[in-house]
Amino acid sequence: MAEETGQRVGDYEVVALLGTGGMGRVYKVRSVISNREEAMKILLPDFAAQPELAARFMAEIRTLAGLDHPNITQLRTAFQIQNQFVMVMEYVEGTTLDKMPARLPLDQAIDYSLQVLAALSYAHGKGVTHRDIKPANIMITTHGVVKLMDFGIAKSTEDLNLTRPGTTMGSIYYMSPEQVRGGTVDGRSDIYSFGVTLYEMLTGRKPFQAETSYSVLNAQLNETPAPPAQWNPALSRELNDIVLRALAKDPGARFQTAEEFRNALKAVRSASDAPAAVAAAAAVPLPVSAPAFASAAPTTGPVAVPAPNPTPGFVPVAASATQPQARSHRGLWIGLGALAAVLAIAAAFAFLPRFFPMHAGQKTGTQVAANAAPAPTAPAPQPAAATPSASPANPVSSAQPAAPNPGAGQPSAKPVHHSYPNAGSPESNAPQTGQPAQEVAPPVAPAPPPGPSPEEVRHARDRFMDLDARSQTVSSELDSLRRQQQAQGYDLRGDMAAAWNRMNNDLREADSAINDHDLDAARDYMDKANEELRKLEGFLGR
């Protein structure tokens, strides 16, 4: 049956030929009833001549109909026409791995691998073995979602008879040793085939390359591949060993399940993400808030604590005019430690004025009486350097005169204690009698709370990808339904159209929140998008 553009096959109109293979052809078709575009695979040229193979196809089609995973193309329906099997599959727009660059970036290769292995783990759990894992059957959508295609298409006996020199077929590079021998195949064969695919993604070359099919198949059976790190030195030892384990000749020496393979890759990615996360956190400087009195100072100049009449020998700490804005991290921590020490000293001097008068009053009477007693001779005011330091034998009050009177020559009778240094005029910042002038350091803002871990970001991204894959399917069906209804003079129900818009908006906001590492907002938007998705899926009967 030769299908041409515009020809009808059942209820489908052929739009274009997508590809050909040894088992049939794949077409892009459009349903004449729903107007939805699908992929049609016409298999087995004449199943009447091969009834056993036809029966196996029928059993596998029924199994495939039960697969529902975001990383697997869905089987829509299947039927027979002119002694041929016809499978109608989900049509996916994107690029297959074999059309992408030979060597992919490490994080991209691991991301695609995790999605492929998630699909294989699900399928193997349903009792389905793919049998033809290769880059041409792995589609990457425009949103970076992996779609594993051609599930369950059995290999004919001709596919295994490839030992003639000069005969080449694309799949021989990815066949497991048990497939080459024609033995029993299970999920571990898919693990081997994907190990070959991962080797190629990481190195840009296949593990076994030769001029003839016989040489390639012989290598699959008997030769050990060169370590992938030999071609890509950037690979870690752990990742190198993972690939080689997947390529073990003995199925019992490989990963026994796709989930085990997937967990090993996740551990490698977590180990590689940890240093990057630490470096990113260290690159963010800790914010330091400006002191309360710095608002009056120029914003571009150094910030210094005013200290009139400093005690000789005391050097106030101030930001140097030549100090660069960006400092090393070591200097930052030293500076923070110094600021903490200065804050402790400033707090101590805030309470010393109350502490010393109480003890001084126990020996000389009340401090007020001592201050009120007239002095026989009024001594001339002394500079701060000449003031004797406080001692038990010579108690000195830490009270500061409220306002000096040049004519009187003696302090006022009522002392004024400054419990909040540097909180008022420059006079209030003057050193207390008998105490050295000290700098009051600017308050340090608390360190920002730690951001989400790479594992949390990865979980959020995985959930978003699942939602996005579901939304693409729903959007495709809604778009086809809307076009069909508009052709008849109707339109989509208003509540469903609104839910569709809300779903798309919530997914966009969730994606933006994940990129900003705001996982709380991302979870909220994804919950909302999931609620709208359920409404739309119920409306479509999914």
DSSP 72: B
From 68, 111, 132, 520, active-site residue: 132
**For the chain, how long is the longest CA-to-CA vector?**
133
Active site residue 462: no
| The pair of three-digit structure tokens given for residue 94, joined into one six-digit string | 């994107």
| The pair of three-digit structure tokens given for residue 454, joined into one six-digit string | 């790479």
Give the pLDDT score at 198: 96
Q: What is the pLDDT of residues 234-244, one digit of tens each?
A: 999 999 999 99
Could you tell me the pLDDT band of residue 412, with boundaries at 50, 70 and 90?
Answer: very low
Cα distances (angstroms) measured from residue 167 to each of 134, 176, 416, 525 = 19, 18, 103, 54
370 Cβ contact list (under 8 Å, min separation 6): 360, 361, 364, 397
| The pair of three-digit structure tokens given for residue 69, joined into one six-digit string | 């995973």
Rounded distance, CA 453 to CA 457, Å? 6
Of all helices (H) and strands (E), which one includes residue 148? Answer: strand 146-148
Could you tell me the pLDDT band of residue 415, with boundaries at 50, 70 and 90?
Answer: very low
Give the pLDDT score at 330: 63
Q: In what order do the strands lie in the sheet with 138-141?
A: 94-96, 138-141, 146-148
Most confident of 79-93, 228-242, 263-277: 228-242
Strands 146-148 and 37-43: unpaired
Give the pLDDT score at 425: 43
Give the pLDDT score at 101: 85
